[in-house]
């Protein structure tokens, strides 16, 4: 809006406080602005009720005229411009700002608000790390899921018909009778503990039917050694002299 607003023409009536416009936009002025009438008199804008009608005070003192020139001085100046700008902002963004509530950030929604934004101390690195893609995923830095490496699930989900290839994977497995299971064992749970490439590894086999533990190891990716039985009260007796004897 220019310093003086004078778009269109007005009709004024002597003794009447209502000013009628033609081609005017009285919404550009505010109560308190100064109306300069066709009689060059100065009046106060009381109520700009529409683009083509407003009230002035005091009532118009000059002669009745139609299609006359006029002027409005924005006495409120910058406060009016500021009010207009704030009003536009509220109309455009009010609902969005209200929806943000206590978020305090327009582009990163915090976790408690249903988003992914977080601060460093709030979570460990697992919060945004990549999950494993399979039960035997060996990529360093990935987050284990329930069931990976046989952890947290029945071993029926991890059947290994041959325990030897498991040396490259590690973890818990359910092993059934093959040529590589411990002699005399039909089935059981096996833990493979491996290191490096070439491979150094040990396998611990829990025989469910004989209730004994057996183990074997491999060094430098060579051949596995023979299965060895771990002695316990299940497969030993104590002699009178205190020595242990295999059953």
- For 138-153, how does the pLDDT look when each residue is reduced to its tens digit (9 = 90+)? 788 788 888 777 777 7
d(CA 172, CA 178): 17
Of 221, 214, 227, nearest to 200 (Cα)?
221
Residue 116 lies inside a defined structural domain of this protein: no
Residue 32 lies inside a defined structural domain of this protein: yes
Count up the domains in the chain and report the number: 2
pLDDT of residue 74: 86
* Tokens 């804008």 -> residue: 45
Assess whether 75 and 154 both reside in one domain: no
Looking at 58, 79, 100, the residue that finishes a domain is 79
pLDDT of residue 38: 96
Residue 191 lies inside a defined structural domain of this protein: yes
Residue 13 lies inside a defined structural domain of this protein: yes
pLDDT of residue 219: 92
Residue 38 lies inside a defined structural domain of this protein: yes
pLDDT of residue 22: 96
Q: What is the residue range of 24's domain?
A: 9-79
10 Å CB burial of residue 191 (0-12, 13-18, 19+) is: middle
Looking at 51, 79, 107, the residue that finishes a domain is 79
Residue 106 lies inside a defined structural domain of this protein: no
pLDDT in tens, 159-214: 777 888 888 778 888 877 777 888 888 888 888 888 887 789 999 999 888 888 99
What are the DSSP calls for 169-188, one per residue?
T-EEEEEES-TTSPTT--EE
CATH number at residue 48: 2.40.30
Pairing of the two strands 53-57 and 42-50? antiparallel
Q: Would you tell me how many other CB atoms lie within 10 Å of the CB of residue 175? A: 26
Assess whether 153 and 75 both reside in one domain: no
Residue 18 lies inside a defined structural domain of this protein: yes
Which segments of the chain have a pLDDT < 50?
1-2
pLDDT of residue 64: 96
pLDDT of residue 241: 78
Does the predicted model carry a pTM greater than 0.85? Answer: no
Residue 4 lies inside a defined structural domain of this protein: no
């Amino acid at each position: 809006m220019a310093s003086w607003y004078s778009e269109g023409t007005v009709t004024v009536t002597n003794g009447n406080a209502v000013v009628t416009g033609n081609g005017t936009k009285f919404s550009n002025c505010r109560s308190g602005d100064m109306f300069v009438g066709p009689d060059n008199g100065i009046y106060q804008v009381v109520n700009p009720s529409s683009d083509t009608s407003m009230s002035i005070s005091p009532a118009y003192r000059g002669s009745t005229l139609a299609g006359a020139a006029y002027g409005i001085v924005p006495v409120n100046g910058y406060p009016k411009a500021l009010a207009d700008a704030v009003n536009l902002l509220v109309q455009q963004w009010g609902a969005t700002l209200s929806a943000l509530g206590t978020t305090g950030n327009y582009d990163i929604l915090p976790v408690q608000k249903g988003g992914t934004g977080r601060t460093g101390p709030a979570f460990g690195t697992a919060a945004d790390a990549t999950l494993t893609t399979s039960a035997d995923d060996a990529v360093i830095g990935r987050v284990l899921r329930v069931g990976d490496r046989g952890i947290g699930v029945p071993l029926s989900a991890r059947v290994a018909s041959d325990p030897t290839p498991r040396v490259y994977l590690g973890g818990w497995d359910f092993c059934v009778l093959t040529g590589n299971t411990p002699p005399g064992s039909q089935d059981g749970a096996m833990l493979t503990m491996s290191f490096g490439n070439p491979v150094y590894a040990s396998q611990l086999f829990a025989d469910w039917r004989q209730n004994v533990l057996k183990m074997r190891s491999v060094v430098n990716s060579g051949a596995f050694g023979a299965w060895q039985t771990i002695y316990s009260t299940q497969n030993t007796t104590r002699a009178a002299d205190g020595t242990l004897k295999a059953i």
